[in-house]
Amino acid sequence: MNSIIKRLINWKVCLLFSGLFLLYLFLILPNESSKSDLITGGLASPDTEFFYTSDYLQDLVSSYSPEAREYYVVSKVRFDILWPLVYGIWLTSSIGLLIKGIKKTGSFGEKAIINWLPLLPLVAVGFDFLENITVSIVMLTHPDVSWVILNAAPVLTTLKWFTLGGSMVIAMVLLGYFIFRMLKSRLVT
């Protein structure tokens, strides 16, 4: 595994990004959502949908005022560059630390595929960035949107949610397995 990724897998990084994750979750995201609702009139945001079609995106963007479309793009630059990095590094570090802890119990070998699981959240971050770029291009070029961009955005959104959701499930399963192994080792001794 890449040495940069290995540096992310330690308690200091995990604790720092856990704090940042909670800050975003409870303060920054609700604030951004309130601002967005005011400017868009409560219209949906494509990046919060799990699945949508290019026709839905085109209709949604048509519903946005020019000011709302501009706000959407500015918010992606101002806000949605840091948020994916926060959740991505938090999940990468958490999954990596759980794998390290499980490995100490002798459960997995060095060449096991599980060693690559900390990379999945970073794949989600990549899809999130690509989604932000494509949806922003749709917003900026409306109504003369490129067919390729218009059709790529929904695919990237769905891939983001699958990889992010998969990362969360992996973290929960690993946490459960880690707790199980810890309890089992305490009961045996």
Where is pLDDT greater, at 104 or 174?
174
Please give, one letter per residue, the 3-state secondary structure of 26-88: HHHHHHHHHHHHHHHCCCCCHHHCCCCCHHHHHHHHHHCCHHHHHHHHHHHHHCCCHHHHHHH
- Rounded to whole angstroms, the Cα distance separating 127 from 11 reads 26
Strand, coil or helix: what is 146?
coil
Residue 109 pLDDT exceeds 70: no
The string of pLDDT tens digits covering residues 28-74 is: 999 999 999 999 999 999 989 999 999 999 999 999 999 999 999 99
Would you place residue 102 in the very low, low, confident or very high pLDDT band (cuts 50, 70, 90)? confident
| pLDDT (average), residues 102-117 | 77
pLDDT at 106 over 90: no
pLDDT for 110: 67
Whole-number percent of the chain with pLDDT over 70: 95
Confidence of residue 8 (pLDDT cuts 50, 70, 90): confident
Question: From CA 63, how far away is CA 69, in angstroms rounded?
Answer: 9
Residue 189: the pLDDT is 63
> If you average pLDDT over residues 17-27, what whole number do you get?
96
What is the pLDDT at residue 2? 66
Q: Contact 5/78 with Cβ under 8 angstroms? A: no
